[in-house]
Amino acid sequence: MTTHEAASAAAGISVFSPKSPSFGLRYGALFGPVVFGVTAAGVALPDVASSLNTSPTATAWVLTAHALALGVGTALFGRLADTRGVRAALLLGSLVLAAGAVVCLVAPGLGVLVAGRFVQAAGSGAMAACAMALAAAVPPDRRARAFAGFGATMAAFSAGATLAGGILTEWVTWRVALVLPALSLLVVPLCLAGASTRVPGRNDSGRSRAMDLPGAALLTLTAMSFLVLIQSSALALTTPLVTATAAVLLLSAAGLTWRIRGSETSFVPRALVTDRVFLKVAVIGVGVYGGLFAALYAVPQLLVRDHGWSVLSVGLWLLPGAVAGAVLSRLAGRLTAGDHGNRLLGAVSLAFAVALAGALTGSGVLLILGASLGFSAFSVTQVFTTALMSGHIEPGRRGGAMGLLNLTFFVGGGVGSATAGALANSMPLSTALGVVALFPLITALTAFTPARRFSQGLGA
Give Cα 335 to chain centroid, integer Å: 21
Exposure string over 27-44, b if 16+ CB within 10 A, otherwise e: bbbbbbbbbbbbbbbbbb
CA 205/CA 359 separation, integer angstroms: 60
Look at residue 374 and tell me whether its pLDDT is greater than 70. yes
**Secondary structure element (H or E) that encloses residue 186, with its range:** none
* CB 124 within 8 Å of CB 73: yes
Task: Report pLDDT for 71.
Answer: 79
Residue 2 confidence class, pLDDT cut points 50, 70, 90:
very low
Q: Three-state SS string across 369-386, please? A: HHHHHHHHHHHHHHHHHH
**Secondary structure element (H or E) that encloses residue 240, with its range:** helix 239-262
C-alpha torsion angle, residues 302, 371, 279, 209 (rounded to 10): 90
Q: Which domains does the chain have, with CATH numbers?
A: 3-10+19-198+267-458 (1.20.1250.20)
CA 194/CA 181 separation, integer angstroms: 21
Query: Which amino acid belongs to residue 226?
Result: F
Task: Report pLDDT for 207.
Answer: 46
Look at residue 110 and tell me whether its pLDDT is greater than 70. yes
- Report the range out of 308-317, 363-372, 386-395, 435-444 with the highest average pLDDT: 435-444
Among residues 52, 295, 74, the alpha carbon closest in space to that of 178 is found at: 52
Looking at the chain, the whole-number percentage of residues with pLDDT higher than 70 is 77
- For residues 404-423, average pLDDT: 82
Residue 334 confidence class, pLDDT cut points 50, 70, 90:
low
Phi and psi at residue 5, in whole multiples of 5°? Answer: -65, -40
Task: Report pLDDT for 303.
Answer: 85
Whole-prediction pTM: 0.75
Q: Write out pLDDT tens, residues 132-187.
A: 778 776 666 666 666 667 766 776 776 677 778 888 888 889 999 999 999 999 98
